Amino acid sequence: MRKPYTLFVPGPVEIPPRAIKELSKPLLYHREEKFSRLLSETINYLRLLFFTRGKVFILTASGTGAMEACVQNLVSRYDRTLVISYGVFGERWKELLWRYGAYVDEVAYPYGKSPPLAEIERKIRTNDEIKFIFTTLTETSTGMVANIKGIGEIAKREGKILVVDAICGLGADEFYMDKWNVDVVCGASQKALASPPGISFLAINEKAWEAVEKAKSPRFYFDLRNYERFLTNYQTPYTPAILTLYAFHYSLKRVLSQGVKKLWREHKERASLFRAQLGDVEYLPDSPSNALTVIKMPEGKESTKIIKEIKERYKILLSDGQKTLKGKIIRVGHMGNLKKAQLLKVAAILKRYL
């Protein structure tokens, strides 16, 4: 069946044909040794992707499921937390923490703007009860990439546990979990790793694992202590998305065969090429990600209408803004199985509307 359009959105993305083919493999039983080997290899690949020696867990869930697993396993009711937010997904951390009964302090900046490190440090020092810092590597709603290295230095110096949502940026933007003093990080399959949606994952170091053992929030499906027990035999507590895991395993193997840093460079080249072709337009973020480009609409233009017309005329799907940014920006993803010529074509089409 022919697809009605090509995806240039910030996820899910176009998937290589070989990854799609993996979805048609014979179904494994998840208690077989062959499945255990598949899971073991995938976990080891993720350690290399994260640049970590920590524990890695694979979940059958969206990226938001992994975010909730982080909150649920780390934070107890009435714990004091800090959210560093510069977009919709920073706000999602805040909502999750509220729902689990945590106290939430916030360093919130306008969408697309980076908070100065000095302000983050000042906020932490004004409340010694803060235990956890939650933030985002690449804010999908604005296209901004954060200074996680700088935030990690502050978190280590102040003795806080740093939790990072790397769902959009992982594989597109530079990220070193251990070297940058990140204690917990979560990601998902359907972004720069060019795999089908349905799998999320997280990595956690020993310092944060102590918090998992002490946390008092009720847990069941996302109870990482249970996942840890099953990983002694490289199995999962519940039936996983086995065929999706096949495709994800292939995608990670492909990424690591060329090297993670090469994948970063590839996304940086795509972003630079696309923006150079666009020319003189106004971008939203002050520190743009390599995963996507976010374009502000000129006076009198509405992104919703432009996106609809481009989809109908050219069979190209772009992404609108979210919440207060709806109608005001266009988000163009650089991730997935796309060629540079395709990105240049999209840029040329967009220029006619801007």
Binding site residue list for substrate: 331
Eight-class DSSP state of 183: S
Residue 97 CA to residue 81 CA, distance in Å, equals 8
DSSP state of 114: P
Residues at the annotated binding site?
331
- Say how far apart CA 152 and CA 250 lie, in whole Å: 31
How is the beta sheet containing 319-320 ordered, strand by strand?
292-296, 329-333, 319-320
Indicate the SS3 state at residue 150: helix
Contact, 235 vs 31, CB < 8 A? yes
Sheet holding 103-108, edge to edge: 55-60, 199-204, 184-188, 161-165, 130-136, 80-85, 103-108
- CA–CA gap between residue 203 and residue 197 (Å, rounded): 19
